[in-house]
Structure 1
């Protein structure tokens, strides 16, 4: 049974489930947030309005994802490719997410590559790359059925 502490993040469940599956037995915890600590650095190498480039710690990461789930609902995450290096201390994951921008109803499809460093069975550092044009197009598109 899913942890009720994370019920508010259900709109991003496909992402969290895919990541947790990708990291497998390299990290502890049932949910993505169980695998991060107060020292975890979550870094994104792109600019999205309202999303910080660097987030430090579990509570700030959870707060940032509250904004994410307030703006985007994911229907699925797929095309997972996992590359384990350095005896599992570094994992590179490639994947896609598919969802809807809640404010406009516009479909959102994006591709990501994340480099995850693991230490003591927790995520130490997360570096994220994405298709910035796909995000820009979805976030700036007119509402479904709207006319310019």
Structure 2
């Protein structure tokens, strides 16, 4: 008798949980949270040429790096014809290759640790010149981001 009552109680609870009213309230889905990959976000960075690039006249600059949903973008490189490109991850490192019809190719790779980012960019110009830079920075706050709500383009 006790087993039948326990079985009946379980059956009633199961029916209540999956009744049309319960399913409509929750749309029949178990809520889930999407966790962003650690590299995703907007990063405020300082880009520094290595000694060889500096000897060729390259200067330190600041930029924002955007990594979102598998896409990478460096708005500071837009002026040279480099647009957004896919990025991939492997072993805690992210990598992206951007191309310009007029100014060559840039290979980016970096690592994220909490709210800090660091890495290297290697620019191979169309004439074969190779310029190397390092970059370091931190996650941009929503208040200081110039590109967050403008589709990756700096606002004036």
Structure 1 or 2: more helix by fraction? 1
- Output the TM-score relative to the length of structure 2: 0.32
Q: Greater CA radius of gyration, 1 or 2? A: 2
Q: Which has the higher contact order (CA 8 A, sep 6+)?
A: 1
TM, length-normalised to structure 1: 0.33
